[in-house]
Amino acid sequence: MIVLGLLFLSACSSLPNSANQTTGTSVSTPTVDTSLKNQGDTKLQTFQQWITLMKQSGGDTTTYDQQFSASKQALDSAKSASAYQTALNTLNSQIASIQLNALKAESKNLQQNLAKQVSDWGNGHSYHDTYDNTNYPLGFEYGSKGIGGWIQDDLDAAKNVADYQQAIENEQMYLYNFQEMKKASADKTPYNQVHQSDMDMLKHYNKMDSKVVVVSLSEEAMRLYDHGKLVKAFLVTTGRPNKPTPPGTWWVEGKKAPTVFKSGVKPGNPDYYPDTPINYAMQYHSEGYFIHDSWWRVNYGPGTNFPHADDSGDSFSSQGSHGCVNLSKENASQVYDFVQLYTGVFIY
């Protein structure tokens, strides 16, 4: 009996020791890898940048601000790699969601910014045409019948992030060129000398080491540059107010001498003109935008893109072009020899 009692006591006394050993054993808890946390930090920064961009463009970020706070809290409180990854996946989807809306807001903001600048400047700067006693706002090439319409078309057609990124890039180009146009309009430097606005554009678009054709809409002038050096300058006639020459940074897409231009519309249409032989044609933009000779004109330079009496007496010479850049035959010949495919064409 004494032996059995000792065994019993021995067995009972071993239970606390066994429990202590079990309690003292460390149980490993899953942790979040440093590299995964770095991903989370980077994604949070990215999300915040998109939110900031959207705010700067006047967009409503209320929902995204709430999502950012929730995602940050979820990442901070995650105790395992799987929980952290789940929170990270949610954050990634939120970033994907805001991108398109942020770009839409930015592109809309840029569109409105340019439209306001063009309107404000045009209201204060106009051309009084004594021929028809009409005041025409300057800078109309950037308005709704010109680049403003092109911008709207781009935004109407945009479907994805890449589309909006391209539209924004174009809008930023138009805004920059418009600023340079305003500078050129106030510059009293003769048209056949180097203009500071030309130099600014060549540097801005990294074209100081190549050939470039520069068309100044405010001067109705063209200047040819080769590695930043002025080679030649000509007076030109650009598009009329309802058919403006599109400002932008383009390039020579093709050249042909001679060729024949066809209006593509029937007689009676305001845009109709008879089949016209052209000696030197250089396309700088699709849809029929050319630099070419207009042998039917006599006068070029300021005011010739508005209604006027051309010394030729030809009714087709009494206003600006349909968007092309017109020169005399002799001058067009020199430009044709100067350019090659992909030569830059800056119109501002």
pTM: 0.87
Give burial (CB, 10 Å; 0-12/13-18/19+) of 246.
Answer: buried
Phi, psi of 234, rounded to the nearest 5 degrees: -140, 155
Q: Which CATH architecture has domain 191-347?
A: Beta Barrel (2.40)
pLDDT tens-digit map of 297-337: 999 999 999 999 999 999 889 999 999 999 999 999 999 99
State how far the Cα of 162 lies from the Cα of 140, in Å rounded to an integer.
29
Q: Which of 82, 1, 88 is nearest to 46 (CA)?
A: 88
Confidence of residue 264 (pLDDT cuts 50, 70, 90): confident
Residue 254: is its pLDDT beyond 80? yes
pLDDT at 271: 84
pLDDT at 30: 59
Confidence of residue 5 (pLDDT cuts 50, 70, 90): very low
State how far the Cα of 282 lies from the Cα of 327, in Å rounded to an integer.
12
Please give the C-alpha separations between residue 52 and each of 258, 261, 295, 311, in angstroms, as whole numbers: 54, 50, 55, 58
In the chain, where are the structural domains located?
A: 191-347
State how far the Cα of 109 lies from the Cα of 102, in Å rounded to an integer.
10
pLDDT at 248: 98
State how far the Cα of 329 lies from the Cα of 343, in Å rounded to an integer.
20
pLDDT tens-digit map of 17-31: 444 444 444 444 458
Please give the C-alpha separations between residue 329 and each of 88, 245, 258, 310, in angstroms, as whole numbers: 65, 19, 11, 16
pLDDT tens-digit map of 44-86: 999 999 999 999 999 999 999 999 999 999 999 999 999 999 9
pLDDT tens-digit map of 285-295: 998 999 999 99
Are 47 and 72 in contact by the 8 Å Cβ rule? The answer is no
**What percent of the chain is predicted at pLDDT more than 70?**
91
Catalytic residues: 292, 324
**How far does the chain reach from its first CA to its final CA, in angstroms?**
114
H or E stretch at 344: strand 344-347
Q: Which stretches does DSSP call E strand in 173-280?
A: 211-216, 221-226, 229-235, 248-251, 254-256, 259-261, 276-278
Long-range contacts of 268-273 (CB under 8 A, 24+ apart): 271/243, 271/322, 273/316, 273/322
State how far the Cα of 140 lies from the Cα of 253, in Å rounded to an integer.
25
Give burial (CB, 10 Å; 0-12/13-18/19+) of 298.
Answer: middle
CA quadruple 201, 203, 206, 212: dihedral sign: positive
Residue 197: is its pLDDT beyond 90? yes
State how far the Cα of 152 lies from the Cα of 12, in Å rounded to an integer.
88
